[in-house]
Amino acid sequence: MPNAPRRGKPGWGDGVKDNGRPHIFGPVPSRRLGRSLGVDPIPFKTCCYDCVYCQLGRTTNLTGERKAYVAATTLIGELEAWLARDETADYITLSGSGEPTLSTEIGEVIAWAQAHTQIPVAVLTNGGLLWRADVRWQVAKADLLIPSLDAATEDVFRRVNRPAPGLELAEVINGLVAARSECRGQIWLEVMLVAGLNDSDEHLRALRDAIDRIGPQRVQVNTVVRPGAEPIAQAVSQDVLDRARQLLGPSAEVVVPRSEHPGSYAPTSGVRDVLALLHRRPCTLGDVADGLGLHLNEVAKHMEALLERSAVRAVVEAGTTYYAAADELPESSPE
C-alpha cells in the first residue's frame, strides 16, 4: 500500500503521539478517488510488507498477524461523528499508516459505512493477505479494491516489498486471482515501479502474465514520488512509465501527477497551512502532523501535492527526511 507518511523512531516516531489521535482523516485530495475520507484501522507502520519505497519509512512492526488493533466501535464512532457534521466525500477509504487488512474490524466498518451513507467504500491494500479467505470475505463487499502488485518473481518481491516471514508471492498472486472473482466491486491494481529493481522489460512481461491471470478492471502504473524508506528507491523515467503501460496491457494507465493537470487540484486550507509552516522552518512529516494537529496521511497527501509543484523540497539529514519551502533551500541541498 504505497500511500502513507514517514516515521523512523519506535512508537510514533518523529515526536508524534498515538494517544487519542483520530483514526479518520481528511477528506484529502486523491489522484484516483477525488476527495477521500481516510479511515486508518492500524497502528503506525504495522504492516506485512516493508517496501523500500514506503513513504512512512521502514516498517517497525512487520507482521502478518490479524487482530482488532483499533476496535470497530471506535472507528464507527468517529465516522458517525464526521457524518453528523454533514460532511461528504467521494470515497470512504480504508487505508492509513499500515496495512488495513491486518485489522479484523474492517468488514464491520465497511458494512456500517454502506448501511449509513451513500458514499462508496474503497480499500487500499498491499494485497499481501488476500490469500486468506477471511480477508477476502471482509473486503469483498467494498465498492472498490485497490491492491498492489510490484513483483512477478519471488526475488523481486523480496527486494522491493520485503514481506513478513511466511508470505510467498505465488500465494499473493493466487489471492489476487481469487479476490477478482469474489469481490463485488471493481479491482484497480497498482504497480509501483522502482528504478533498477522491477522496471526491466523482462520483469514487466512477467508482471503482464500475472495481471492477465488476475484480470483487474484497471492497472495503474505509478512510481516513487516522495522520499521512501531506502535511498535506493528512485523514480523511473517517463519513458519507462510509458513502456510499462504498453507492456502491461490494455487495462494499464499511468497515474499522471496532478501537476500535469492544472486546475484539477484545488489547494485546501490544509495544504496552505503546511506550506506556511515550512516557510518558517524545515519539518519532518511528523513535525507537521504534530504542529498542525493533522493525521500523518493527510500531511503526506498535502506534501505530495507541494512536491509535485516544486513548492517544497525534501532534504535527508542523518537518515531523517525534512521538508522545506523550496525557495529557502540552497541550490546544492541534497534531495
Footprint of ligand SF4 (CB under 6 A)? 1-2, 4, 47, 49-51, 54, 56, 59, 98-99, 126
Residue carrying C-alpha cell 473486503? 139
CB of 2 to ligand SF4, least distance (A): 4
Q: Which is nearer to ligand SF4, 5 or 282 (CB)?
A: 5
CB of 193 to ligand SF4, least distance (A): 14
What distance lies between CA 217 and its chain's CA centroid? Answer: 19
CB of 136 to ligand SF4, least distance (A): 18
User: Within a 13 Å sphere around the CA of 56, how many CA atoms are in the beta-carbon half?
Assistant: 30
CB of 266 to ligand SF4, least distance (A): 27
CB of 308 to ligand SF4, least distance (A): 19
| Cis previous bond, 27, omega within 30 | yes
What distance lies between CA 97 and its chain's CA centroid? Answer: 8
Q: Which is nearer to ligand SF4, 83 or 232 (CB)?
A: 232
CB of 131 to ligand SF4, least distance (A): 15
Edge-first strand listing for the sheet containing 144-147: 24-30, 34-39, 91-94, 121-125, 144-147, 186-193, 218-223, 252-254
* Angle in degrees, CA 162, 41, 92, rounded to 5: 110
Are 299 and 271 contacting, i.e. CB atoms less than 8 angstroms apart? no
* Angle in degrees, CA 278, 283, 289, rounded to 5: 95
CB of 14 to ligand SF4, least distance (A): 16
Q: Which is nearer to ligand SF4, 56 or 92 (CB)?
A: 56
Joined grid coordinates for residue 59: 516498517
Are 140 and 183 contacting, i.e. CB atoms less than 8 angstroms apart? yes
Are 27 and 297 contacting, i.e. CB atoms less than 8 angstroms apart? no
Q: Which is nearer to ligand SF4, 169 or 311 (CB)?
A: 169
Q: Which is nearer to ligand SF4, 25 or 49 (CB)?
A: 49
For the chain, the straight-line distance linking the first and the last C-alpha, in angstroms and rounded, comes to 23
Q: Which is nearer to ligand SF4, 32 or 277 (CB)?
A: 32
Q: Which is nearer to ligand SF4, 83 or 235 (CB)?
A: 235
